[in-house]
Amino acid sequence: MAASYDVLKTRTRSDYPFTLEYRTRWADNDMYQHMNNSIYNFLYDSVINSYLIEFCDLKPALSPQHGMVVHSHNDYFGSISFPSVAELCLRVNKLGRTSVTYEIALFEKGVDRVRSVGEFVQVFVDRATGRPAAAGMNGIMRRGLERIMVQEGKQVLPVKSKL
């Protein structure tokens, strides 16, 4: 079951095992002088794929399986704008036979309060057929995702990027 809005708005960086920094760009701002809502989805997709490439052996153009987004949503708790640095924090909340549910939080560097929390659900499909992988998610992918799987009430161990 997904966490409630009230729980999500109290998330901290320590709730997430993987973090990636992103320096906001002038073009990320909209006419209201904060980051446009569509940019959040681009950033969420980027932190997920950065993790999959580095820790799950994803090769976007070559891997026999790839994740296809089947659901996404985002809750906003505050804004961020250029020239801030965003910290994108990632965890896995649910891991199925062919699917994964990610939770992504966006923090502004130097600010404790979470700015947004989103959810992406991917189904891993065979590249050749575009259908869910008959044998399930491959083992390397699954083991990589298990490293950032979080269960409420359990300690979160950080996974450090080499990038």
Ordered by start, the domain boundaries in the chain are 5-146
Residues 79, 115 contacting (CB under 8 angstroms): yes
pLDDT reading at 162 higher than 70: no
pLDDT reading at 154 higher than 90: no
What pTM was estimated for this model as a whole?
A: 0.92
pLDDT reading at 1 higher than 70: no
Which pLDDT tens digit goes with each residue over 45-96?
999 999 999 999 999 889 989 999 999 999 999 999 999 999 999 999 999 9
pLDDT reading at 151 higher than 90: no
pLDDT reading at 23 higher than 80: yes
Mean pLDDT of 131-149: 94
Confidence of residue 18 (pLDDT cuts 50, 70, 90): very high
Better-scored residue on pLDDT, 141 or 133: 141
Third-level CATH fold of 5-146: Thiol Ester Dehydrase; Chain A (3.10.129)
Mean pLDDT of 145-155: 84
Mean pLDDT of 129-149: 94
